[in-house]
Structure 1
Amino acid sequence: MLDRRSFSGLMLAGAAAALLPRAARAQGQPARNVVLVHGLFADGSCWSEVIARLQAAGLNATAVQNPLTTLEESVAATRRVLARQEGPTVLVGHSFAGMIVSEAGTDPNVSALVYVAARAPDAGEDYAALAKTFPPPPASAGIVFDGDEGRLTEAAFLRDFAGDLPQARAKVLFAVQEPFRKALLAGRTTQAAWRAKPSFYAVSSEDRTIDPDLQRFMAKRMNARTIELPASHLSLISHPQEVAGLILEAARGAA
Structure 2
Amino acid sequence: MSSDVTVVLAHGAWADGSSWSRVITGLWAAGVRAAAASLPLTTLQDDVAALDRTLERVGGPVVLAAHAYAGGVIGSTRAANVTALVYIAALAPDEGETVADVFYRTTPHPDAPTLEPDAHGLLWLPAEAFPAAFAQNASAEDRALLEAVQRPISPECITAAVGRPLWKDRPSWYLLAEDDRMIPAETQRFMAERMGATVRKHGGDHMPLVTAPSVVTDLLLEAVDTAARGL
Regarding TM over 0.5, the answer is yes
State the distance in 1 between where 2:67 and 2:111 align: 16
Deviation at 1:37, TM superposition (A): 0.3
RMSD between superposed Cα atoms in Å: 1.7
Q: Which moved more, 1:209-218 or 1:167-176?
A: 167-176
State the distance in 2 between where 1:139 and 1:107 align: 37
Counterpart amino acid of residue 101 in structure 2:
A
The Cα offsets for residues 189-223 of structure 1, whole Å up to 9 and x where unpaired, read as 11311111000000100000001110011111111
State the distance in 2 between where 1:133 and 1:150 align: 19
Question: Corresponding residue for 1:96?
Answer: 69
Q: Which moved more, 1:193-202 or 1:180-189?
A: 180-189
Deviation at 1:99, TM superposition (A): 0.2
| 1:251–1:31 distance in 2 versus 1, CA, 3 Å | farther
Counterpart amino acid of residue 74 in structure 1:
D
Q: 1:136 pairs with 108, 123, 129, which one?
A: 108
Question: Corresponding residue for 1:204?
Answer: 177
Counterpart amino acid of residue 149 in structure 1:
L
Question: Corresponding residue for 2:117?
Answer: 145
State the distance in 2 between where 1:33 and 1:219 align: 23
| 1:86–1:242 distance in 2 versus 1, CA, 3 Å | same
The percent identity for this pair of structures is 39
Question: Corresponding residue for 1:231?
Answer: 204
Is 1:108 aligned to 2:108, yes or no?
Answer: no
State the distance in 1 between where 2:46 and 2:105 align: 28
The two structures have a TM-score, normalised by structure 1, of 0.83
Preserved CA contact (<8 Å) 2:72 2:99:
no
User: Secondary structure of the equivalent of 1:151?
Assistant: coil
Deviation at 1:142, TM superposition (A): 3.6
Q: Which moved more, 1:109-118 or 1:189-198?
A: 189-198
Counterpart amino acid of residue 88 in structure 2:
V
Is 1:188 aligned to 2:158, yes or no?
Answer: no
The Cα offsets for residues 110-151 of structure 1, whole Å up to 9 and x where unpaired, read as 010000000011111244334444222346534343221211
State the distance in 1 between where 2:155 and 2:99 align: 15
| 1:131–1:174 distance in 2 versus 1, CA, 3 Å | closer
Gaps of 5+ in 2: none
Greater fraction of residues in helix: 1
Counterpart amino acid of residue 34 in structure 2:
A
Q: 2:41 pairs with 44, 58, 68, which one?
A: 68
Counterpart amino acid of residue 66 in structure 2:
G
Gaps of 5+ in 1: 1-29
State the distance in 2 between where 1:158 and 1:230 align: 17
Q: 1:177 pairs with 150, 164, 180, which one?
A: 150
- Choose 1 or 2 for highest CA Rg: 1
The two structures have a TM-score, normalised by structure 2, of 0.92
| 1:140–1:70 distance in 2 versus 1, CA, 3 Å | farther
